[in-house]
Amino acid sequence: DSQLNPDYTFANFIEGDCNRLARSAGWAVSENPGGTAFNPLVLYGDSGLGKTHLAQSIGLKAKELHPEKTVLYVSSQKFQTQFTEAIRNNNKNDFLHFYQMIDILIIDDIQELAGKEKTQNTFFHIFNHLHQSGKQLILTSDKAPIELKGMENRLLSRFKWGLSADLQNPDYETRVRILQQKAYKDGIILENDVIEYIATHVINNVRELEGALISLLAQSTLNKKELNLELAVEIIDKLVKNTKREISIDYIQKIVCDHFNMPVDLLQAKTRKREIVQARQIAMYFSKSMTKASLSTIGSQIGKKDHATVLHACKTVNNLIDTDRAFKTQIDEINKKLKM
């Protein structure tokens, strides 16, 4: 049994700018497992953006196209538990042997192996064996391999052998298409104004988007209310207020730009103008300290920069806070506005 969820198919995975590279690399891997340069394929991104779904789609498609191959999906937690049990029962070799027989191995949330040296060590041997025999590895992680802490360097360097592709938060249009698809799948007709309302207000990740739709459907069925804009406004506003307001990168950019009285799209402009560079650095600094987003996610959302630029921005801002009183005052003020 491959432990794959049959709902997590490519057909159910909406494509957008946020996931195009990861999706097409995944598709290529499922057509030709072990035979592309994408080995391992590492899918990374924040929680709720589709890593598990996409990793499983690859497994399902590969099974369909190559029924003779063995596919296994396993969470890092389960892998860890199985390993501990194998050690306790003195059959580590069976454990190794089992994993070394797999043709397409999907391990979800590898960041959870952080600090687990013995498990990492065993995984290292499994990885080498599979990779050398032309078998496919697909890994997911909430951070880019370069940002993973508590992982052995020799493992991290192997993660970089293949392709690391990130999943980002979908934009408005992709959110609309995801909602349309979910509603269609559930056999429900949603008016455009309802879909637009949800897509405008539920913006953090796909899991929340789905959650919002589910609450809306539940309320309308339970209370026999018509599924219209009025109900959507009522339900969604409650939801948005209740999710302990998580400060988003978009929100930080808006507050920083308001503070410096500049239009928010200037942060995306390709310019070295001092004020803009500094506003961008400040937005990056707050995104790093106030959100759980990875450096590369922050960079790509603020001016399409890479993770090194974000790291540099955080250092620069920290230095200025220590050395420049006027600058520190500005930072304190922005901090206050963000927490209002």
| Residues at the contact surface with ligand ADP, assessed by CB under 6 A | 12-14, 19, 45, 47-53, 178, 206-207, 210
Q: Which does 178 bind (CB under 5 to 8 A by kind): ligand ADP, Mg ion, none?
A: ligand ADP
Start-to-end CA span in the chain (Å): 51
Q: Which residue is nearest to Mg ion (CB)?
A: 52
SS3 42: strand
Q: Of 190, 119, 193, 188, which Cα lies nearest the Cα of 155?
A: 119
User: Smallest distance, Å, CB 56 to ligand ADP?
Assistant: 8
The reply on whether position 52 binds Mg ion by CB under 5 A is: yes
User: Smallest distance, Å, CB 107 to ligand ADP?
Assistant: 13
Query: Going by C-beta distance under 8 Å and a sequence separation of 6 or more, which residues neighbour residue 121?
Result: 152
User: Smallest distance, Å, CB 11 to ligand ADP?
Assistant: 10
Q: Which is nearer to ligand ADP, 12 or 82 (CB)?
A: 12
Strand order in the sheet with 136-141: 71-75, 104-108, 136-141, 41-44, 163-166
Q: Which is nearer to ligand ADP, 4 or 49 (CB)?
A: 49
Whether 170 and 13 have beta carbons less than 8 Å apart is answered as: no
SS3 274: helix
Please count the residues of this chain forming the interface with Mg ion, following the rule CB under 5 A.
2
Q: Which is nearer to Mg ion, 54 or 282 (CB)?
A: 54
- How are beta strands 41-44 and 163-166 bridged, if at all? parallel
**Region of 22-30, 49-57, 160-168, 207-215 interacting with Mg ion (CB under 5 A):** 49-57
User: Smallest distance, Å, CB 254 to ligand ADP?
Assistant: 25
Q: Which does 48 bind (CB under 5 to 8 A by kind): Mg ion, ligand ADP, none?
A: ligand ADP
Q: Which is nearer to Mg ion, 19 or 253 (CB)?
A: 19
User: Smallest distance, Å, CB 161 to ligand ADP?
Assistant: 23
What is the widest separation between alpha-carbon atoms in the chain?
67
Q: Which does 206 bind (CB under 5 to 8 A by kind): ligand ADP, Mg ion, none?
A: ligand ADP
Crossing angle for the helix pair 274-290 and 307-323, to the nearest 10 degrees = 100
Q: How many CB atoms lie within 10 A of CB 64?
A: 10
Q: Which is nearer to ligand ADP, 52 or 76 (CB)?
A: 52
SS3 328: helix
Query: Going by C-beta distance under 8 Å and a sequence separation of 6 or more, which residues neighbour residue 91?
Result: none
Q: Which is nearer to ligand ADP, 60 or 331 (CB)?
A: 60
Residues that bind Mg ion (CB under 5 A): 51-52
